[in-house]
Amino acid sequence: MQNKDPRLSVCSTCPRHCRLNEGATGFCRARRAEGGRVVAANYGKITSIALDPIEKKPIAFFHPGENVLSVGSFGCNLRCPFCQNDSISQCGADSARYQSATPAELADLALRVRRERGNIGLAYTYNEPLVGWEFVRDCAKEVRARGMLNVLVSNGCAEASVVEELAPLIDAANIDLKGPSQEYYDWVGGDFAAVCRTVRALHSAGCHVEATTLVVPGRNDSDGDIDAIAERIESVSPDIPLHVTRFFPRYQMAAAAPTSVATVRHLADVARRRLSRVLVGNC
């Protein structure tokens, strides 16, 4: 994107292309204009770390039964009213509580946990990891150098250049395919085409890809909605697993009713008309 105002720095991480004055922070709250360029203000700032079963990501068909050390920072380039991790995804450096770590320190920790408790590598998750993609890249290189694996859990809303740089370093990913159209993504503040492109690019790079759709009542809970999502995944590969997940009230939708279990199970059956591996979650 051409910057017509030399006083502004343009972020090229996601389709928003935030145009920022020096010192200003972008929509994601994680990227800031410094010295005429946009950098990751959340680089090396860890808000959450835990050893999780790989199935919790959720990833069902990649090293099942194993654990992965999960790390997160702060910031997100979407504004989902139902956000499940709003305490970190919707805050910035001024309000987040974090500890600092270098990529080498995290990779060493992952290796130590592997020896002591069992661990396949690092998972970049909790907030939106791609708003700090440089840290993901640098950690992933250190993790690979120690013979371990990299797992990405992301909304997938990033520019192609970012995904292309990371794809060779990522072994498995779960991408949120939140809805069936740009109309749905207008509601959550994202770019449908960019997310679909991310799924395809990771799969083409040989990464193990799974997808998740959170079923939100009245928003993406019709047969047509789920069929359209399944069709989009099928166009990449009918063997990509889809997790059809039950919504619970959170964040700006705390007063909403949860999705019924029957609805989730029915919509999973709809998706199975196109996809070979469909699972239900939160049921």
Q: How far is CA 222 from CA 75, 178, 213, 215, 267, in A?
A: 31, 13, 13, 9, 8
Q: What percent of the chain has pLDDT over 70?
A: 98
Res 109: pLDDT: 98
- How do residues 40-59 score in pLDDT, each as one tens digit? 999 999 999 999 999 999 99
Which regions of the chain does DSSP assign to beta strands (E)?
8-10, 19-21, 31-34, 37-40, 45-46, 48-53, 67-72, 99-100, 121-124, 149-154, 172-176, 208-215, 242-246, 278-281
Residues 6+ apart with CB under 8 A from 205: 167, 168, 170
Dist. CA 119–CA 176, nearest whole Å: 24
Residue 54's nearest CA partner among 63, 45, 44 is: 63
Per-residue pLDDT, averaged over 241-269, amounts to: 97
Which CATH number is correct for 8-281, 1.10.3210.10, 3.40.50.1460, 3.40.30.10, 3.20.20.70? 3.20.20.70
DSSP result, 96-124: ---EE--HHHHHHHHHHHHHHH---EEEE
Q: Could you tell me the pLDDT band of residue 130, with boundaries at 50, 70 and 90?
A: very high
Res 7: pLDDT: 78
Res 5: pLDDT: 63
Per-residue pLDDT, averaged over 219-234, amounts to: 98
Q: Which two tokens stand for residue 108?
A: 């060493």
Q: Which two tokens stand for residue 66?
A: 């194993």
What pTM, to 2 d.p., does this model score? 0.96
Q: Long-range CB contacts (< 8 A, 24+ apart) of 88-92?
A: 88/47, 88/48, 88/126, 88/127, 89/126, 89/127, 89/128, 90/29, 90/251, 91/29, 92/25, 92/29, 92/30, 92/41
Res 220: pLDDT: 98
Res 64: pLDDT: 98
- How do residues 163-217 score in pLDDT, each as one tens digit? 999 999 999 999 999 999 999 999 999 999 999 999 999 999 999 999 999 999 9
Please, what is the average pLDDT of the chain?
A: 96
Q: What percent of the chain has pLDDT over 90?
A: 95
- Is residue 148 a contact partner of residue 122, using CB atoms and an 8 Å limit? yes
- How do residues 63-83 score in pLDDT, each as one tens digit? 999 999 999 999 999 999 999
